[in-house]
Amino acid sequence: MPGELPVGEPVPRDGSLPEGVSAGKMPFALYIHIPFCARRCGYCDFNTYTIAELGGDESIEKQYVDALVKEIALARSIVGDQQVKTIFFGGGTPTLLPSSEIARILDAVQLQFRLSDDVEITTEANPDSVSAGSLGELRAAGINRISFGVQSTTPHVLQTLDRTHNPAQVPIVVHAARDAGFTHISVDLIYGTPGETIVEWEESVRSLLSLPIDHISAYSLIVEEGTKLGAQVRRGVLAMPDEDLNADKYIVADDLFTAAGFAWYEVSNWAKPGGACKHNEMYWKNNDWWGLGAGAHSHIDGVRWWNKKLPAAYIKELQDGSSPALAREILTDEERSFEELMLGIRTREGLPLSVVAHGAAAAALADGNLDVDQYEMGRVVLTRSGRLIADALLRAFSDA
């Protein structure tokens, strides 16, 4: 099933953390999952639902926000008076909620927690889920960063991905976001969709780089089991993405991004100076975060837990005064070290050479996959060729 959750140990009904575990040792963030979508995209295995799939009662949106407000209060009772560095509304399509409901969630956060002076508050959005008016309302509510799920500007590629927006909407909403006062605007791209040529990919990249954005993400399409796209590939209706062609597309994008003033700071993310996503950096640095909402994951001081997936089940637990957590796992020192390696190796900051298997690092350096200057300073930082095989290098580096 799409988005299946791992198996872990039970969580107390009050959501309390294990003895000796506490927040405050690392910077703290909030992730807020909004599971509603106008239509499920064929490639997506996230925990998302259309209103029709949830029974057709639109009042579930308000009930869901009511539950989020309760979970925010629950989080405060467990982690205490934390300063929140970043907030990220993900989904789903958060901007399907009325802006007033987004504002209500943020009001609840500010009631329970302290926000840092430079707090980054991001929402994801589809180009057809916002207007000039709603963007102004979101900005007034406190959202200061927006990430548009564009994926492609080629119509037949969007059709294959089951995306609902018209490419012509993209420049309109990006400029509207800038006019509404958003100084940080990001766009997401996906490469490797069956039928997409390298020329079409380059045209998508160039068209987005002409817009007033300061961040861009480019992800290789992953064919997930249990999705419509996965079934189409399995039946032979669509071809599996070509890995060599995808590598070529990555190189094309990286060249164009760099020429436009964007620097890579994670394998799939590029930003202009000051434009990096602070929230994603919280994950990559293995800091603490509380995931609010159906199916959301949290991590505090080496303990990871996840909420019940179905919105109705999530809502009911909070209405009953219980934690919506389904299960949790307590990471061992070995697991925590591996996660730091797995996350850190993908970033431009890299890792200390001391935490990497030295023989594998020396081999990667000889193959041109590590930055020579950084290596000589005792750090492991991937070159572009290294970024293309980051997963393989991770396996080698962790085999100490």
| Pair 119, 212 in one domain | yes
Query: How confident is the model over 231-249, as pLDDT tens digits?
Result: 898 999 988 899 999 999 9
- Which pLDDT does position 2 carry in this prediction? 41
* C-alpha–C-alpha distance, residues 84 and 116, integer Å: 6
- pTM of the model as a whole: 0.95
Both structure tokens of 326: 């389904």
Residue 346 has pLDDT above 70, yes or no: yes
**Does 98 map to a domain?**
yes
Per the CB < 8 A criterion, the answer to whether 297 and 100 are in contact is no
Q: Identify which of 100, 109, 124 has the alpha carbon closest to the alpha carbon of residue 34.
A: 124
| Pair 272, 385 in one domain | no
**Does 293 map to a domain?**
no
**Does 304 map to a domain?**
no
- Which pLDDT does position 372 carry in this prediction? 97
Both structure tokens of 375: 């290596």
Query: How confident is the model over 92-148, as pLDDT tens digits?
Result: 999 999 999 999 999 999 999 999 999 999 999 999 999 999 999 999 999 999 999
| Pair 131, 235 in one domain | yes
| Pair 254, 337 in one domain | no
**Domain range for 366:** 332-400
- Give the side-chain half-sphere CA count within 13 A for 338: 11
Residue 1 has pLDDT above 50, yes or no: no
**Does 354 map to a domain?**
yes
- Which pLDDT does position 7 carry in this prediction? 64
Residue 6 has pLDDT above 80, yes or no: no
- Which pLDDT does position 301 carry in this prediction? 96
Domain at 210, CATH number: 3.20.20.70
| Pair 152, 32 in one domain | yes
What percent of the chain shows pLDDT beyond 90? 88
Asked which of 253, 284, 315 is the last residue of a domain, the reply is 284
| Pair 208, 350 in one domain | no
| Pair 196, 342 in one domain | no
**Does 12 map to a domain?**
no
| Pair 272, 376 in one domain | no
| Pair 52, 173 in one domain | yes
Query: How confident is the model over 268-317, as pLDDT tens digits?
Result: 999 999 999 999 999 999 999 999 999 999 999 999 999 999 999 999 99
Largest CA distance in the chain: 61
Please give the tally of structural domains in the chain: 2
| Pair 202, 350 in one domain | no
Name the strands in the sheet holding 28-34, side by side, starting at the edge strand that comes first in the sequence.
263-266, 269-271, 215-220, 184-191, 145-151, 114-125, 83-91, 28-34, 288-292, 297-300, 303-307, 325-330
| Pair 396, 266 in one domain | no
| Pair 271, 351 in one domain | no
Both structure tokens of 217: 């993400």
**Does 200 map to a domain?**
yes
